[in-house]
Chain A
Amino acid sequence: ELKVEQNPLFLSMQEGKNYTIYCNYSTTSDRLYWYRQDPGKSLESLFVLLSNGAVKQEGRLMASLDTKARLSTLHITAAVHDLSATYFCAVVLDKIIFGKGTRLHILP
């Protein structure tokens, strides 16, 4: 059974700092998604990673995928308050399995 683990689960950081969220998974897959969820809202797609070594960037967020290590990272550069949200990774086999999420709080 596929297991998806994110860490940290909670992260409070200052504006302007850099940090990385990690997503480990237990079964070979070469597709992984990152989503953002604001409180009381639905999930917004951020990145689709389709192959080993894939790297995608959007603004202050950059996601990467290492299928050999079964690891994806979401890196935040020079954080701003607007990035406060919960971030989920989701691994794709024949179904999409989500991690527990990382609740990110950026202090102004």
Chain B
Amino acid sequence: EAGVAQSPRYKIIEKRQSVAFWCNPISGHATLYWYQQILGQGPKLLIQFQNNGVVDDSQLPKDRFSAERLKGVDSTLKIQPAKLEDSAVYLCASSPLGRGTEAFFGQGTRLTVV
């Protein structure tokens, strides 16, 4: 079974630039998550989709971050404009519907804002 695919793996941008990350979840997984992991910290949930609807985006900085999941499959996360404090690893995860199913994580995109 193919895992969660993310691209790019690494990205370096200057502050105030924009950037986009892409995620392809495991086939058939209805729930998709984007997490931000700052170095030395635990993953922080940014947004959670179920199919193509948003379940939770309470921690998403909506003035600069946006995410979409068209057709309930792939998802993109965008930052515009980026700030220095956005430097982190952005992790995408997916899980099937149903109780007791853990989230499976992609390799992440390491973003450095200079």
User: Contact residues of A with B, CB < 8 Å?
Assistant: 4, 31, 33, 35, 41-45, 48, 50, 88, 90, 94-101
Contact = CB atoms under 8 A, between A and B. Distances in A.
Contacts of B101: 48
A89 B108 CA distance: 19
Contacts of A44: 105
B42 A50 contact: no
B41 A96 contact: no
B56 A95 contact: yes
A101 B42 contact: yes
Contact of B45 (A50, A88, A97): A97
B61 to A, nearest CB: 17
Mostly, the A contact residues are strand
Contacts of A48: 100-102
Given A41-B107, A42-B107, A48-B100, 7 more contacts: A31-B100, A42-B108, A43-B105, A45-B104, A96-B33, A98-B35, A98-B44
Question: How big is chain B's contact interface, by range?
Answer: 20 to 34
B19 to A, nearest CB: 19
Contacts of B106: 42
A96 B42 contact: no
Contacts, number: 48
30 contacts: A4-B42, A31-B99, A33-B102, A35-B105, A41-B107, A42-B105, A42-B106, A43-B43, A43-B93, A44-B105, A45-B102, A45-B103, A48-B100, A48-B102, A50-B99, A88-B42, A90-B103, A94-B56, A95-B45, A95-B48, A95-B56, A96-B45, A96-B103, A98-B35, A98-B43, A98-B44, A99-B42, A100-B42, A101-B41, A101-B42
Nearest to B110: A40
B32 interface: no
